[in-house]
A and B are shown apart, each in its own frame.
Chain A
Amino acid sequence: MSGLIVTPSVGRRAARRAGDWVPAAVVFVLAIVVWEGAISAFHIQQFLLPRPSDIVSTFWTNRHTLWPAGWTTFKEALGGFAFGSLGGVLVATVVGRFRVVGNALMPIAIAANAVPIIAFAPIANAWFNPLSSTSKMAIAGVLCFLPVMVNTMRGLQSADPRQIELMRSYAASELEIWRRVRVPTALPYLFTALKVASVLAMIGAIVAEYFGGAFNALGVLIRSDAQILDFQTAWAGILVASLLGLALYGAVVLAERLVVRWTPATREA
């Protein structure tokens, strides 16, 4: 399509972009309508599934407790995401330089990735002060570290050998090859992992809070609301968690669009 239109006018491009989002918007509206309708039609009890309108109004009345709690959790997730991803990239970069070490380490990393790390949240709480945000950051960080490291390593190794050979034949230094060939090939892999990690960070922070945390945190709030069967407030908390999770995910997608421009594959996901 885009091959035919040489220079699409701004208006037309905007219209096409809007066209991309119309189906999603329609699904959204339909889902809300069906949700509201089903509750009235089948007399679903309030405590099982509140109406979307009730959730939003609960969210609004409790916004002074929910937003600060969400912010606390978001900071933990963000800290874990930053440390975990940075650590993953660093380790992969250092280890990726030495193929032998990388090959030896890969199976261990993959096995570690198969471990339900969330089960270690109570231990992280015991290691650090359970009321501090460090324990949550630690769990979120470990959750982010593994996929980022594995994918970065894979990405750094997936450079086309012909390109590397070409660079070598031009007497390019290893650093130059790394900068001009390896890093650009690794970036799409890195961003795939960062997208996964952004979701994991938020979930990790919330689950870690479930095992105990400061009272003004989202996980603690949702848990205590669900325990007293105040599901409306619990759902409002879930709404906040999802919005923040989406925001982090969206930020990564945006960064990917800005940084990775040359591979068409990134446009699918």
Chain B
Amino acid sequence: MADAAVASPVPRRAVRTAAIARAAGRAGAVVAVMLALVGLWELYRWIWSSAGWTWPFVVDSTSMPHVWTILKAFGQPAQVNQPALINILLHKSLFTAKEAVVGFGLGAVIGFAIGVVLVHSRLLQRGFLPYIVGSQTIPILAIAPMVVVWVNPKLPGPFQGWGAVAVIAAYLTFFPVAINTLRGLQSADPRALELMRSYAASRWTVLWKLRVPSSLPYVFSAFRLAATASIVGAIIGELPSGLQSGLGGAILNFNQYYSLEPQELWATNIVAAALGILFFSVVVLLEKAVVRRAPENVA
């Protein structure tokens, strides 16, 4: 986009106006989608409850609270003498975001390192790749209690309590990064590889000058998956560790009162969804800033 702006004789102001118009269009689309979702929700609710249909589930104010009930719940305290729910949820999502960011960083570094090591040895690939894939079939929620008991006592002060959750988030994050880094490093043009070899370039030079740049689109597409995975990992990790300060703890807590106050669980889940989308968008923006070339077949 920037190149086009430089090359074309269109005055800068026009370009900027066009950019603003595009951004406004996109914001409008987001609002339209939200309104459509709200409309669908209320329409579904209305049809099912007025027709008395009970399939696939009974529609009432417990299973599907009105949108305005949920919105109102944001502004009210969940318990007496507490700040409004939205304040509490923002605090909790900040906590969960902290776990997710640390887990994302840890997982991204480990995943990238695994990719770099594996690309240099066919033998190691054959030895370890099946287990890297297999590691994801272990239900992470199931090992979370063990990880918490295991990791927490070994952590330094500032990480006490939530460090184990970050480790769980990293466990979900490292996998897509490792697989895509490997694929991306392998995607370097073989002719360029040959050329560098013919100049007797060292492995290190080949790695940094050729392999890593050509892997970036793949790595970033893994980061997009990993952004979501790290939020999922942080929320799941909080469940068995008994942490009350994050969104996972809030979900567990409000789940117990669902039959009385369903709107509070819904509000929490909306915040969790927003956090996931926000994290994803940050990675996409970073990607736009760093990667100029689109990969052809990154799944």
Contact = CB atoms under 8 A, between A and B. Distances in A.
15 contacts: A23-B124, A114-B228, A114-B277, A116-B272, A119-B235, A127-B56, A206-B142, A207-B139, A207-B236, A219-B142, A226-B142, A235-B146, A238-B139, A241-B139, A265-B297
A126 B142 contact: no
Contacts of B139: 202-203, 206-207, 219, 222, 238, 241-242, 245
A127 B14 CA distance: 52
B142 A211 contact: no
A234 B123 contact: no
A100 B262 CA distance: 37
Nearest to A193: B299
Most B-side CB within 10 Å, residue of A23, A28, A235: A23
A27 B258 CA distance: 47
A123 B127 contact: no
Given A199-B136, A206-B139, A122 B265 contact: yes
Contacts of A246: 134, 137
B235 A23 contact: no
A107 B133 CA distance: 28
Given A27-B131, A114-B227, A211-B255, A202 B137 contact: yes
A24 interface: yes
Interface in B245-267: 247-248, 251, 255, 258-259, 262, 265-266
Contacts of B183: 268
Given A115-B277, A207-B141, A24 B251 contact: no
Chain B contact patch, size range: 35 or more
Interface string B61-89: 01100000000000000000000000000
Nearest to B278: A114
Interface residues of A, number: 61
B57 interface: yes
Given A27-B127, A192-B299, A238 B143 contact: yes
A134 B58 CA distance: 14
A203 B133 CA distance: 14
Interface string B141-159: 1110110011000000000
A115 B276 contact: yes
Nearest to B186: A268
Interface of A: 20-24, 26-28, 31, 47-49, 107-108, 110-111, 113-116, 118-120, 122-123, 126-128, 134, 151, 154, 158, 188-189, 192-193, 199, 202-203, 206-207, 210-211, 219, 222-223, 226-227, 231, 234-235, 237-238, 241-242, 245-246, 249, 265, 268-269
B179 interface: yes
Interface of B: 29, 33, 56-57, 62-63, 123-124, 126-131, 133-134, 136-143, 145-146, 149-150, 179, 183, 186, 227-228, 231-232, 235-236, 239-240, 247-248, 251, 255, 258-259, 262, 265-266, 268-269, 272-273, 275-277, 279-281, 297, 299
Nearest to B57: A127
Contacts of B33: 108
B134 A116 contact: no
Contact of A122 (B133, B255, B275): B255
A237 B29 CA distance: 46
B255 A210 contact: no
Given A24-B127, A127-B57, A238-B139, A111 B265 contact: no
